[in-house]
Amino acid sequence: LHLKPGQKIHNVASSMEPDQNADTPEEIALKNELQTPCYLNIAACRSKMGDDRATIAACKSALALDNHNIKALYRRATAHINLCNFDLARDDLNLLLKKDASNTEAVRELNRIKKLEEQSRVKQRKAFGGLFKSNPADDAAAAAAAAA
């Protein structure tokens, strides 16, 4: 049986889903504690493979278990940046900075978002800047009509 990269660890993480009828609260807490690093490893692997959507999904699973996990927030933010989801990335980074204000990587990524947004605005201005400008011939005709 040949598994895709990361599939084996995903199977391990998924098989640890809590059975609410059989597990004690201590067992559920232990499973959650063991699952979080598995999902973070899946996210890291998917990120290295360039699969940003799968990275986001794995981070979402990790954050469901530990909603303030620094690594999950950071990895999800970088995946959102790669997909140009700048608002979602900014939200994750701001939440991360509330938890760890000294995180220099998060600050660096926020600055990168600003640069990417500015580059996007410049491209949009170039692409659409002349789109709504009026035709010079129409301007001359309108001026002549107004003068008459």
At residue 82's C-alpha, the angle toward residues 76 and 86, to 5°, is 75
pTM comes to 0.72
Q: How far apart, in whole angstroms, are the C-alpha atoms of residue 113 and residue 30?
A: 37
Check residue 25 and give its pLDDT.
Answer: 85
DSSP label of 25 = H
Check residue 146 and give its pLDDT.
Answer: 65
Q: Are 56 and 79 in contact (CB under 8 A)?
A: yes
Please, which contacts does 68-74 make with residues 24 or more away whose CB atoms are closer than 8 Å?
68/95, 68/99, 69/36, 69/40, 70/96, 70/99, 70/100, 70/103, 71/40, 71/43, 72/36, 72/39, 72/40, 72/43, 73/99, 74/103, 74/105, 74/106, 74/109
Check residue 6 and give its pLDDT.
Answer: 57
CA 13 to chain centroid, in Å, comes to 22
Tens digit of pLDDT per residue, the chain (148 long)? 555 655 655 565 555 555 555 678 888 888 888 999 999 999 999 999 999 999 999 999 999 999 999 999 999 999 999 999 999 999 999 999 999 999 999 999 999 999 999 998 888 888 887 666 655 566 666 666 666 6
Q: How far apart, in whole angstroms, are the C-alpha atoms of residue 125 and residue 76?
A: 29
Check residue 26 and give its pLDDT.
Answer: 86
